[in-house]
Amino acid sequence: MTHQKNDPLTVIILAAGKGTRMKSPLPKVLHPVAGRPMLERVIRAVKAAAATEVRVVVGHGQNLVRTIVEPLGAKCFVQEQQLGTADAVKAAKVESDKDGDILILNGDHPLIHEDDIKEFRKTFREGRLDLAVITSVLKDPGEFGRIVRQNKILRAIVEAKDASADTLKINEVNTGIYLMKASVLESLLPKIKNENAKGEFYLTELIGLATEGRLKVDAISASSRVAAGVNSQKELAKATRAIFRRNVEAAMDRGVVVIDPKTVYIEDEVEIGSGSVIYPNCFLRGKTKIGSFCVVESNVFISDSIVEDSVQVKAGSYIERTLIHARASLGPYARMRPETVIGEEAHVGNFVEFKKVQFGRRSKAGHLTYLGDAEVGNDVNVGCGTITCNYAPDRKKYKTVIGDRVFVGSDTQFIAPIQIGEDAIIGSGSTVTKDVPAGALAVARGRQIIKENYAAKVGLSGVDPKDQNQADKTIKTEKAENVD
């Protein structure tokens, strides 16, 4: 049977293993690589490469694995016992596939890319192959199975534990990825025996069986990156670094200035406009979008937020699910919590925290302020130490509404629910419990009392100790007067 241009591609992903070397209760394939479970990365890659159907063989932690697999449109098939890779493939109901090609790969190869898969299939078709194994050349082959050739022709795959000293010197290895015609897999899979020390069924036996059957078999060379599986926490960290490095380099190719690429972490879905500058030690995650000509200073964390053009985010700021309009500035050390919107040209200064706040155009909160569940108009000045008291004894959140051009003096408390009209002025140190009309002055603080020569009376200004009793009497008298 010859290859047809539109032959279907069925992908079988092996993800049933426990991953004991990870030393983690989480199934190995669900460990995150640069913010995404490694299995999700594999599924996305094969789907982007136009896979017709994706089947995931599950076992250990299958209920958790399903929560990732099924929303991505892949199907789960259970391997009841861990009896080897060929047994896992059999669990994927390969007998139902009569036409097209089948790609088999592992769920712990997160660095594989859609372009890799497209290239494998192109080479497979151009060579008119029946079966191919994807190989890589490694400086340190370690425990990988070795590719044995005779006169450059692929003859066998020898597992490292079964290899002779000479075979171990071979540095071309089996990546564990196979591409074949569906009909070939259907005919050869039942012939695989478990005549080995572990009594398991291995896919590597396919090569010998196909050769014996005079099928056209070959190895397709791939980057060493494709061979990079994850079996330990160290390998997980290495794979994560590789993804972050790739994303940073892609951003730089689009015109983003990254001062120290080794210390910047950008997840897959993050978008950054050209001309923006990213300082060292920044983490940009989720569906964050940053416009052009922005500056993100050191030690900034931004998650699932939109930052429009020409915004400056100063050092140490933490931003979650926030919309920041153009030409605004934040920080240093500002914290923007979810459902916050910062208006154009607004300024949010150091040690300011917002939660669920609509902050108007050109408004300012310079420092040491907390606003929660609030609407703040345009051109508002919020003084240092201002807070909204939005959480009441009934355990409900209430809203503070501040109109345009309001001046809020320092150390003000707004006891929600409350509304402050436009152009109002709030005196410093006020605890505001009632609505304030537009254009009004509100001052809500205790009356200041001045007692002249008080220091001398309490012995703090050179008063003679023998007069201390008289000073004490004076203090008691004045306290009584204040009560009256």
Q: Determine the residue type at 351.
A: F
Helix (H, G, I), strand (E, B) or coil at 185: helix
Q: Is 367 considered catalytic here? A: yes
pTM of the model: 0.86
Segment 257-287, tens digit of pLDDT? 999 999 999 999 999 999 999 999 999 999 9
Please give the pLDDT value at position 95: 76
CA angle 74, 79, 84 (to 5 degrees): 115
| pLDDT at 68 exceeding the cut of 80 | yes
Segment 419-444, tens digit of pLDDT? 999 999 999 999 999 999 999 999 99
Contact predicate 54/46, CB 8 Å: yes
Q: Would strands 277-278 and 301-303 be described as parallel, antiparallel, or unpaired?
A: unpaired
b/e per residue, 245-278, with b = 16+ CB within 10 A?
bbbbeebeeeebebeeeebbbbbbebebbeebeb
| pLDDT at 467 exceeding the cut of 60 | no
Q: Find the catalytic residue in 3, 60, 113, 367.
A: 367
| Helix intervals (H) in 401-467 | 454-457
Percent of the chain with pLDDT over 70: 93
- Assigned token pair, 185: 């897999």
Region at 325 (left for phi over 0; alpha for psi -120 to 50; beta for the rest) = beta
Segment 208-246, tens digit of pLDDT? 899 899 999 999 999 999 999 999 999 999 999 999 999
In whole numbers, what is the pLDDT of the chain averaged over residues? 92
b/e per residue, 30-63, with b = 16+ CB within 10 A?
bbebbbbbbbbbbbbbbbebebebbbbbbbbbbe
Nearest CA to 328 among 310, 355, 303?
310
**What domains can be seen in the chain, in order of their start residue?**
9-227 (3.90.550.10), 233-442 (2.160.10.10), 454-483 (no CATH)
Greatest alpha-carbon pair distance for the chain in Å reads 118
